[in-house]
């Protein structure tokens, strides 16, 4: 089973028929959460993230999207209640939702909106070698490099499934001599990093499985038809 990464660009406005149908297909907990969001964009990201997960994992399990049920470990990592061998991880930020799934190894994915940032944050959360790598970049490259490192590190801790109980400065993800991203503290893990557009960074991690070179772009229409 190949590992795939699927990404969905969240629309500014969803047709009402689509939105109502998507709401009917997610968990009651998700519907309640969506109703509490002040900003519609936050509700869209939350619900569409679950829909993308259900549609994708339906194909891997043979169950209908609405039949899937989810659990979380003590650190919050989600899994399928009755198909715990099916690996996946989901992330959303800004205009994008990303889902990684497939294979039999631990998976993690992170997408972040690239926004102005105080670079001193790197000294608090990055390892010494990562901070040095960032500081050595030209000023105009530092923000992009920060988000590349940040999403790579987030994808790793999400794959491991222990969240921020793993201090972010306790491991380093840096390019090796072949320019591939790697983690010296966990050499079996593989990484992928790319911009989704001018304003968003994507990173993915697998515990040994081959990662795709490009994500597959999914549309709202694709998901509506799959339900």
Mean pLDDT of 145-156: 97
User: Which residues are paired to 107 by β-bridges?
Assistant: 206
Distance CA 111, CA 150 (A): 10
* Per-chain mean pLDDT for the chain: 95
- pLDDT of 136 reads 97
- pLDDT of 139 reads 94
Q: Is the pLDDT of residue 163 over 80?
A: no
Contacts 24+ apart (CB under 8 A), 65-71: 65/25, 65/226, 65/227, 66/25, 66/227, 69/27, 70/27
User: How would you classify residue 141: left for phi > 0, otherwise alpha for psi between -120 and 50, otherwise beta?
Assistant: alpha
Is the distance from CB of 93 to CB of 111 less than 8 angstroms?
yes
Distance CA 113, CA 195 (A): 10
Spatial CB neighbours of 138, under 8 Å, sequence gap ≥ 6: none
Mean pLDDT of 192-213: 96
Confidence of residue 1 (pLDDT cuts 50, 70, 90): confident
Is the distance from CB of 181 to CB of 201 less than 8 angstroms?
no
- pLDDT of 74 reads 87
- pLDDT of 24 reads 96
């Amino acid at each position: 089973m190949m590992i795939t990464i699927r990404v969905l660009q969240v629309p500014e406005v969803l047709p009402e028929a689509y939105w109502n149908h998507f709401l009917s297909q997610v968990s009651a907990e998700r519907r309640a959460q969506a109703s509490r969001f002040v900003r519609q964009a936050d509700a869209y990201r939350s619900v569409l993230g679950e829909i993308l997960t259900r549609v994708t994992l339906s194909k891997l399990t043979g169950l209908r999207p609405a039949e899937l049920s989810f659990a979380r470990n003590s650190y919050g990592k989600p899994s399928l209640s009755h198909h715990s061998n099916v690996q996946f991880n989901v992330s959303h930020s800004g205009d994008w939702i990303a889902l990684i799934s497939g294979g039999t190894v631990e998976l993690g994915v992170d997408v972040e909106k690239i926004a102005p940032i105080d670079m001193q944050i790197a000294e608090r959360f990055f390892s010494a070698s990562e901070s040095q790598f960032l500081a050595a970049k030209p000023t105009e490259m530092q923000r992009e490099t920060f988000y590349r490192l940040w999403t790579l590190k987030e994808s790793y801790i999400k794959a491991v499934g222990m969240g921020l109980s793993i201090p972010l400065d306790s491991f380093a993800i840096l390019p090796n001599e072949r320019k591939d991203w790697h983690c010296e503290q966990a050499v079996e893990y593989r990484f992928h990093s790319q911009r989704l557009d001018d304003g968003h960074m994507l990173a993915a991690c697998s515990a040994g499985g081959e990662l795709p070179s490009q994500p597959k772009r999914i549309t709202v229409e694709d998901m509506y038809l799959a339900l």
